[in-house]
Amino acid sequence: MNNLDLIGSSAKVAVGVLLLLSLFLLTVQTKNKLANRLFSVFLLLIAFDLTGFFIYQWIGNYPHLSTLKRASSLLQMPLFYLYVLSVCYYNFRLRLIHLWHGLLFGLFFVALVPRFYFLDKPAQISFLNDRETTELLVFNVLGEAQYYVYIVLTILALRKFKRVYLENYAAEFYTFYRWLWQMIIVFLVAHLFALSKNIIQFGSNIQVIIWANMIVSLIATGVSCWFVLKALYQPALFRGIDTQLAVVNEPNTQAIVAPDLSNAQQQQITALQTLMQAQEPFLDPSLNIQQLANLMDISAKELSQLINVHMGQNFFNLVNSYRIEKAQAILRDPNKQAVTVLEILYEVGFNSKSSFNTAFKKHAGTTPTQYRKANLG
């Protein structure tokens, strides 16, 4: 098998894997159907793009299809961005305003009207084969700019999501949050290789061009298989938050001191602390700020302001601090030495060992096992 055959075979594997994963995402039963559909279309666009490694001779005879394949890459990052929003926010919905994300895709076809669509087929093929065509060069540059703009938008969306989540929810969220960050990093690395390959293709060294294409095709196969492994090992990656929740505009918490609190605010803090100790609502793994606000008979916004601004912490850490205190009490109890750490973490409201260990070490400065040994000997 020569290098060209290896490139084609590797790309075929990647396309096949992406098609199967897309089919799985479209048919699997899930609450977050929109996220799965967006990710499925995103994967199909990548698969369509990768077909260029093995149908380049055939597709070259169909200039309109070839043009569509080139333009489809301009929809990949907008779809990924919308996918991230749909994963982060459970009530995210597509609206007409989201069509502007396809603006560059539409402009690509408009720009080709004067010098492409009025040509006969041989002239169109010649136009597309010319690497120095002004329209194609301009859109290559715009496509690169678009890629990094959407990477930045996605990072900003994740940062906002994390802050809103910590202020309003107490359930563990790092699994899918880490998955989204991993995808961003993988896409960036893969894109840098693809960009290098595109630049190399302007050169005249055929062997270097072939090796560049082979490396990119192998990377595409590896990334495709990684997607599948993620789907197999972590099928429950999605949990969203309400799109209507806003980040509290909080001042520097270091500047907040007790004398600044009004009597009403101090009473609310005392009432909150009493509620947490007496009713222990933090034992519910899915506790959110709205549920706690209902128990206190105040609005979620008022409670969020109280916790984030006047108590100097977020809802996530507040709830976890009570969970850890409860866990510490169990670990110190000589009558409960037979209770395992795994049983304790579920009892106090955590749903994963990693999140429990992280929170415990953050609040207690040691691991649960070390804490038990230090207190019980």
Q: Which residue has the tokens 């007790």?
A: 258
CB-CB contact of 86 with 92 (8 Å):
yes
What Cα–Cα distance (Å) separates residue 339 from each residue in 150, 325, 360, 361? 48, 16, 17, 19
State how far the Cα of 26 lies from the Cα of 90, in Å rounded to an integer. Answer: 18
CATH value of 253-376 in 3.40.50.620, 1.10.10.60, 1.10.540.10, 3.40.640.10: 1.10.10.60
Q: Which residues contact 357 (CB under 8 A, 6 or more apart)?
A: 367, 368
Q: What is the end-to-end Cα distance of the chain in Å, rounded? A: 65
CB-CB contact of 253 with 45 (8 Å):
no
CB-CB contact of 190 with 219 (8 Å):
yes
Q: So what's the pLDDT on residue 237?
A: 55
Q: So what's the pLDDT on residue 90?
A: 77
pLDDT digits (tens, 9 = 90+) for 144-192: 999 999 999 999 999 988 888 877 777 666 677 888 898 899 889 888 8
Q: So what's the pLDDT on residue 232?
A: 67
Low-confidence ranges of the chain (pLDDT < 70): 1-2, 171-174, 204, 231-261, 377
Q: Which residues contact 326 (CB under 8 A, 6 or more apart)?
A: 280, 282, 283, 347, 348, 349
Instruction: Give me the sign of the Cα torsion angle 305, 306, 307, 310.
Output: positive
Burial class (CB in 10 A: 0-12, 13-18, 19+), 283: middle
HSE, CB side, 13 Å, CA atoms: give it for residue 58: 5
CB-CB contact of 321 with 363 (8 Å):
yes
Q: Which residue has the tokens 């992280």?
A: 358
Burial class (CB in 10 A: 0-12, 13-18, 19+), 233: exposed
State how far the Cα of 283 lies from the Cα of 350, in Å rounded to an integer. Answer: 8
HSE, CB side, 13 Å, CA atoms: give it for residue 117: 9
Per the structure block, which two tokens stand in for 119? 């040509």
**Domain layout of the chain by residue ranges:** 3-233, 253-376
CB-CB contact of 87 with 35 (8 Å):
yes
Q: So what's the pLDDT on residue 250?
A: 47
Query: Nearest Cα to 4, choosing from 291, 171, 206, 148?
Result: 206
DSSP code for 257: -
Q: So what's the pLDDT on residue 81?
A: 95
Fold of 3-233: Rhopdopsin 7-helix transmembrane proteins (1.20.1070)
Burial class (CB in 10 A: 0-12, 13-18, 19+), 185: exposed
Q: So what's the pLDDT on residue 326?
A: 93
Query: Nearest Cα to 161, choosing from 316, 301, 38?
Result: 316
Q: Which residues contact 334 (CB under 8 A, 6 or more apart)?
A: 376
DSSP string, 45-62: HHHHHHGGGTSHHHHTT-
Hey, do 3-233 and 253-376 end up sharing a CATH topology, with the first three levels equal?
A: no
